[in-house]
Amino acid sequence: MSHLCWLAFMCVLHMHDNWIADACFPLCENRACGEIIGNTCPDMLYLPPIPILFNQVYFAYTNKNVEFSVFSSAIPHYICFNGQLCSQYFMKYQSIMFSNAICYRPEDLGLDFHQGRATWVHLYVIPLFKLLRTCYEMIDNSSAICNRSTMYQCMNSSKCISRNRLNDGIIDCFYHDDEQLKMVNNTCLLERFKKHFKCIKTNQCISYQLVHDGTCHCREYGNGLCDDEVTDLHYARNHILFQVICDGFNELIPVIIDGRNETDETECEQWQCNNTYTRCDGFWNCLNGADEINCDSLGLLDCPLHHHICVSTETKRLTCLPIEKADDGQIDCLGGTDEPRLCREDHYLAADNNFYCKNDTRRPCINSGYLCDSNDECEYGDDEQVCDTNRNFTIYGSVCFDNNVEMRSDVEKFFCGRFIDTKKQQIVHFSLGIDRNSSIKVTKSNRKRILPHSFSRPTNKHCHRGFDLRVSLDKDKNLTTTTCLCPPSFYGDMCQYQNQRVSLTMQYRALSDAWRTPFVLVVMLIDDSDERTIHSHEQFTYLPMRDCQIKFNSYLLYSTRPKNNSINYSVHIDVYEKFSLAYRGSWFLSLKFPFLSVHRLAVQLDIPHSVDSIKSCSDLQCVHGHCARYSNNQDGSSFCQCSQGWSGRYCTIPQTCTCSFNSLCVGISANNRSLCVCPINRFGPRCLLDNTLCELDQNTKCLHGGQCIPIDEHIVSERKFTCICSKGFSGDRCEIPDNKIIVSFHKDISLSQAMLIHFIRVIDNALPERATTFKTIPVHQNSIIIYWSHPFHLVFIELFNKSYYLAVIQRTFYPSTTIIREIKSSDRCEHITELFNKTIIKLHLLRRIKYYHVPCQRHSPKLSCFYDDVHLCLCNDHGLHRVANCFEFNHHLKSDCLGRSGCENGAQCFQDSLTCAQTSICVCPTCFYGVRCQFSTSGFGLSLDAILGYHILPHHSILHQPYAVQISAVLTVIMVIAGLINGVLTLITFRSKKLREAGCGLYLIGSSITTLLTMTLFGIKFWTLVSSQMSLTINQSFLYVQCLLIDFLLRICLSMDQWLNSCVAAERAITALKKVNFDKKKSKKFAKYVIIALLVLTISTAIHDPVHRRIFNDEDNDEKRIWCIVSYPSSFQLFNSVTHLFHFFIPFFINLISALIILKANARQRAIVRPHYTYQQLLREQFRQHNRLIIAPFILIILAFPRVILSLVSGCMKSAQDSWLFLIGYFISFIPPTFIFLVFILPSKLYKEEFLKAVKHYWKMI
């Protein structure tokens, strides 16, 4: 090829655009290039001379019919193949041979090449590639891969493609069969389509890559709808929206109900077309325009009430038309503005043409854009009759064009200002009827920040991804040089090489209890060597209230370049609390593809909800540390968490920590530097620098007890600090107090102890936001106090029998306010089954919803709200009518607190937000209570905590406590005083040596001592519980000691009292049997051993009780309580029940048998003296004389019986009435110790005489 030939072809093919003007114009002038090619070039040649595709495809040109064009390159004459590519498909086409290649004309192959203003590649190479790729076989027909279930074999071809590429909009098979597959049996769930999207209207399955890509692939239907492009129009056409029901325009696709086509505009007889959503929206939703009366925003004419502005057909001037003449079938206004039916298709379909041409047989309605454009669009020139004829200048186009705004007359302003019906909003959101010019304007931002670990700089061509840095070589001689400062991911003298690295994107989630807790996240790239080398690391400060849903980016580099492929790498992340530096947990991220130079990971990690949730293990031998499990691994993988001063896989390598004294040393990096975690007021690689931002600058001071947190370098923010506000305050500096809502309930309302509070925030042009919290109300109260920091406009209270009450409705939100509201029966939202008959209830929602204005009008003004299975509805005043206003409400919303609920015993976790929850509360099932539902009222034995604890009001004096607490306090004082008097009198009585000669006296002395101990401990227990629950200051150590010992000692004393009483009865029975042979000395000696044995027995059978007791701080949003709880394992629960039965029934039977023995023994003795009496008569006489021996023990047993019931009860307190029953039973169980003096001393002559002697003795002493 000659140089001139080559130069001419370069111009013809536009190979160099900058040649066109400089070289090609002079060379190719007057078709000279065509002549040069014809004279100097071969008959046929390849250009370019190398393959352009698949290493075997060429473009060939002849030297005939080749001309230069300024606008486009020349079309190739032939496409040549020097291999077997696509040969099986092209055999039927005519071809020629050239240079051992088969050549085809482009048009024979179906390539329709056209010249145009584009590059040679775009015009010819790309279309050819799209054709040839359909027959290019990467896998031959002998490959077993084609037989896999994940592959699809093209029709009449050996080519195989992945099933994921079927119907993806890209032709991969030569016969296009991969893009023409239909559904089988009306489903996409077959093997070949299991990952495809179903087009309902076209019976087609398409790839999910084509869904929501901005182009309709399923074919449009129903006025612009498309299955794979879900737009606002699609939502409006398929979703029943209360706000657009019966608004004069048909939005909903017809639905067949009971054999009839129903839409949102059928059966509208009961609907008020002039309502909250149609009033003054610029469209005649009511056909007579009642919703637009007195809504003229232009101020063109001042009309009376109930009149419309229009242009008279006679005077062609603005006039006022009575509403009665609108939609009466007579055209009174120019353009038919008073008869909207004329320009609406089927009365309900919106149209662009809203100007009516009277008597026009061609086109009855035209667009306002044709008005006054100097052309008669209407047959009789109606569109030009509105024009200002006094204008002395010419306008271009229609007077309604934007550039003619200043030139319009009042009549023209009226017509140009009318809204086109098709501009009506398709989706209208819930509103409270606020004036449209002053609606709630809240801008919602869906932008998500991704926080990079490095800062960005403008790129520099010399340093590529880095930037130039000038380095001084000799200051005196002013010698400098430049070097490149590279970012971590690049290296080289020009930052031209990429580092091998791990690109990690992280998002963290924390439960609501950690909303105000800052965390330090230490991200480390480690290996699996014994040294467990930390190759690189990064630290982040994560504050949930600030960084919720924020993504963190980090580049982790390998310490060697290139990385060592013989070892395995992974990412290890530790999390610590910033304030206390307490360890919270660790995560493990494996690098599954070690061959990648840049390994990208994106993870979402859940921060463990407490320090207690750290799982220990024993499968690793950690020498100087302990074994811990990773929080995110289900397989239970573990690692060694080393103690300070040690590192390595098994904590066997000593290290010297160079961190500051009050920081943490969590490892040693590859360059032998300590990895430090700094406290809140320190920073730097070794935590040696003080951060004084929050201490010295008054502008950073957080108010109302807020905590100042400096923002680290990873956060993109204009502010340098964040305030962690204390509860009850919000704002940048905690300057805004929360809203306080005090809600009381009328006595007619039956309250449940738990309720849901729903806050609804109304946002302009957006769905209302809902937040739900949970509140408990004590049984003795009828009011609650709610603190809320977020904006809201509606508050509903839901009791757990699905009863809703409207608590607050406000059109404007005012922060930091106190709302006091009494809920009455009239505030209850009734269910539609209470308002409508069965016929309407059974109707389809589309038909039933059109009756929802009726109950508001029928029950006005008593009905404030109602609801169905989908909506919550308000009854509002609108003009002279009362109308319904509904919004969609999920009545069965469940929130599991990110799947990591801290609730126990099957409780349900509620949080105020599905994503960034600030508060969460556990809804306890029956029988459980506490913030986490960790306490049970089942089997609580003798403990007052579960019976009376929640009745005690914190921060209230005893005079303002509920009746249950006050009555219990009075009873406690009376019983303690009575018990102490009883014990003292018994001790006084048995000071006599005469009464202590036998064992019975020792038993009664022991019983009096246990009485004194029981009543003293009982008083301490009650008042300690009351004081701790009233939030009075009590030493924590004292609370812990009394928790362990008081209930334990009470149990021992009560059991001992029963056993000693039974011993008294047993000794009396022995005395009755032996009579004069009874040995008092042996009895006294034996009694000492018995008392010691009983003490050991009762202690040994109750010693497990203090082991299973603990103090628990139960804190929620409103109050803090301290509980003494006991929880037995199942084996101890059975043992506990058996011991209670043993200590009750054995003394009972001893008492009973002893009484019978005494009666029988005395009866036999009397039978010898009085033989004329029968044995039965003497037995009855003895019973009458000594019935106290039977009655007294039985009374004591009966009084002690409630204690056994309380100890063995399997049920629980479910209501306030239950608590009263348990409280009565509890106090009754403490009566027996107060009756010892009455039962044993007063009935005995001997004991009574000795008691009187003792009293006289002490009286003389006084």
Q: What's residue 1077's pLDDT?
A: 79
In the predicted structure, residue 60 carries a pLDDT above the cut 70: yes
Token pair belonging to 42: 């071969």
**Interacting residues of 967 by C-beta distance below 8 A, sequence separation 6+:** none
Q: What's residue 455's pLDDT?
A: 41
Q: What is the mean pLDDT of residues 978-1007?
A: 84
Q: What is the mean pLDDT of residues 25-48?
A: 87
pLDDT per residue as tens digits for the range 414-445? 888 888 877 888 788 999 875 443 333 343 33
How many CB atoms are located within 10 Å of the residue 730 CB? 22
More confident: 616 or 544 = 544
Q: What's residue 141's pLDDT?
A: 52
Instruction: Give the chain's mean pLDDT.
Output: 82
Q: What's residue 438's pLDDT?
A: 32
Crossing angle of the two packed helices 1036-1074 and 1080-1100, in degrees rounded to 10: 150
Burial of 929 (0-12, 13-18, 19+ CB in 10 A): buried
Q: What is the mean pLDDT of residues 603-628?
A: 83
Q: What's residue 1196's pLDDT?
A: 64
Q: Taking the domains of the chain in order of start, what are their residue ranges? A: 3-132, 450-490, 499-679, 961-1257
Cβ distance 160 to 149 under 8 Å? no
Q: What's residue 1193's pLDDT?
A: 63
Say which range, 280-289, 784-793, 1133-1142, has the weakest mean pLDDT. Answer: 1133-1142
Torsion angle defined by CA atoms of residues 161, 162, 167 and 169, in that order, rounded to the nearest 10 degrees: -70
Model pTM above 0.85: no
d(CA 1243, CA 785): 58
d(CA 1196, CA 1229): 9
Q: What's residue 476's pLDDT?
A: 85
The CATH number of the domain covering residues in 961-1257: 1.20.1070.10
pLDDT per residue as tens digits for the range 1061-1086? 888 888 888 887 887 777 888 888 89
Q: What's residue 454's pLDDT?
A: 40
In the predicted structure, residue 192 carries a pLDDT above the cut 60: no
The SS3 call for residue 921 is strand
d(CA 578, CA 691): 14
d(CA 735, CA 378): 65
In the predicted structure, residue 908 carries a pLDDT above the cut 60: yes
Cβ distance 589 to 573 under 8 Å? yes
d(CA 694, CA 700): 6
pLDDT per residue as tens digits for the range 1212-1235? 555 444 567 777 777 877 887 777
**Interacting residues of 963 by C-beta distance below 8 A, sequence separation 6+:** 780
Residue position matching structure tokens 């064992």: 999
CA distances from 1227 to 338, 425, 1200, 1219 (A): 84, 70, 10, 12
The SS3 call for residue 421 is helix
How many CB atoms are located within 10 Å of the residue 416 CB? 20
**Interacting residues of 829 by C-beta distance below 8 A, sequence separation 6+:** 796, 803, 804, 805, 806, 864, 865, 866, 867, 872, 873
In the predicted structure, residue 599 carries a pLDDT above the cut 50: yes
Q: What's residue 404's pLDDT?
A: 82
d(CA 651, CA 644): 10
d(CA 783, CA 743): 5
Buried b (16+ CB within 10 A) or exposed e, 961-990: bbebbeebeebbeebbebbbebbebbbbbb
Q: What is the mean pLDDT of residues 241-263?
A: 87
In the predicted structure, residue 748 carries a pLDDT above the cut 80: yes
pLDDT per residue as tens digits for the range 1179-1196? 666 666 666 656 666 666
**Secondary element (H or E) of residue 675:** strand 674-677
pLDDT band at 737 (very low <50, low <70, confident <90, very high): very high
Q: What's residue 193's pLDDT?
A: 58
Burial of 1162 (0-12, 13-18, 19+ CB in 10 A): buried
The identity of residue 402, as a single letter, is D
How many CB atoms are located within 10 Å of the residue 207 CB? 21
pLDDT per residue as tens digits for the range 464-503? 888 888 888 888 888 888 899 998 889 988 898 899 999 9
In the predicted structure, residue 620 carries a pLDDT above the cut 90: no
Q: What's residue 451's pLDDT?
A: 42
